[in-house]
Chain A
Amino acid sequence: GNSVTQMEGPVTLSEEAFLTINCTYTATGYPSLFWYVQYPGEGLQLLLKATKADDKGSNKGFEATYRKETTSFHLEKGSVQVSDSAVYFCALRDLNDYKLSFGAGTTVTVRA
């Protein structure tokens, strides 16, 4: 079956530091890959997505590239801000599937 593994947190960074959150997946078909973000006390919001191999999703300074050869979708941001403090979830869904498979989430705290 499908599964997502992402790096465990928590991750604590200083403002303007570089952020990487690793995500690898196992899938039987041709999944779309997603990063969701959850700010404190809120629901999940889509941060970015990629629907096929070598696609790069980007939003709000975050980027992730769909790497089929390494089954990875690592999230990166070059210079984080305090407002990026949140929980980040990697997820996948197969082409004809209704279900999103989520990783366990990575808590990121950015200090001023």
Chain B
Amino acid sequence: DAGITQSPRHKVTETGTPVTLRCHQTENHRYMYWYRQDPGHGLRLIHYSYGVKDTDKGEVSDGYSVSRSKTEDFLLTLESATSSQTSVYFCAISEGQGFHEQYFGPGTRLTVT
């Protein structure tokens, strides 16, 4: 299994509070991704990173920010959590584009009350 951990694994928070999710990899892969998984939508890309301090938006980036100060860590921040951000969040890593597969972390279940 690829070395990807996510923390926390579960979190309950209140509307309006900031939340940071962490993804840590031990594979030294260049690309890192944050997805959210919601019923009927599959996985949707929030943000991705193509190197240290190099990030870009995905299809559902509103309300989220990311940072990558080290190769191994990719942080996802919800500046002011809303109930619509209740979801399961997955981190993924990849060596490259195209045919390179993405390896997924175990997920973080976030509930915003």
Kindly specify which of A11-19, A41-49, A67-75, A76-84 makes contact with the partner chain.
A41-49
Instruction: Please judge, given known A-B contacts A44-B43, A103-B42, A105-B42, whether A93 and B98 are in contact too, CB under 8 Å.
Output: yes
Instruction: Please judge, given known A-B contacts A43-B106, A98-B48, whether A93 and B97 are in contact too, CB under 8 Å.
Output: yes
In A73-111, the 8 Å CB interface with B consists of 89, 93-100, 102-105
Complex alpha-carbon distance, A32 and B98, angstroms: 7
B45 — which chain A residues lie within 8 A by C-beta? 99-100
Complex alpha-carbon distance, A49 and B80, angstroms: 38
A22 at the interface (CB under 8 A from B): no
Inter-subunit contact A46/B101 (CB<8 Å): yes
For B48, give the chain A residue with the smallest CB separation: A98
B97 — which chain A residues lie within 8 A by C-beta? 93, 95-98
Complex alpha-carbon distance, A103 and B4, angstroms: 23
By secondary structure, the B interface counts as strand
Which residue of A45, A51, A95 contacts B104 across the interface (Cβ within 8 Å)?
Answer: A45
B42 — which chain A residues lie within 8 A by C-beta? 4, 89, 102-105
Inter-subunit contact B107/A43 (CB<8 Å): yes
Inter-subunit contact A32/B48 (CB<8 Å): no
A93 — which chain B residues lie within 8 A by C-beta? 97-99
Complex alpha-carbon distance, A46 and B44, angstroms: 17
Shortest Cβ gap from B24 to chain A (Å): 14
For A36, give the chain B residue with the smallest CB separation: B104
B103 — which chain A residues lie within 8 A by C-beta? 46
For B45, give the chain A residue with the smallest CB separation: A99
Between B33, B90, B98, the greatest number of chain A beta carbons within 10 A of the residue's beta carbon is seen for B98
B interface with A by C-beta (< 8 Å)? 4, 31, 33, 40-45, 48, 50, 58, 90, 92, 94, 97-99, 101-107
A interface with B by C-beta (< 8 Å)? 4, 32, 34, 36, 42-46, 49, 51, 89, 93-100, 102-105
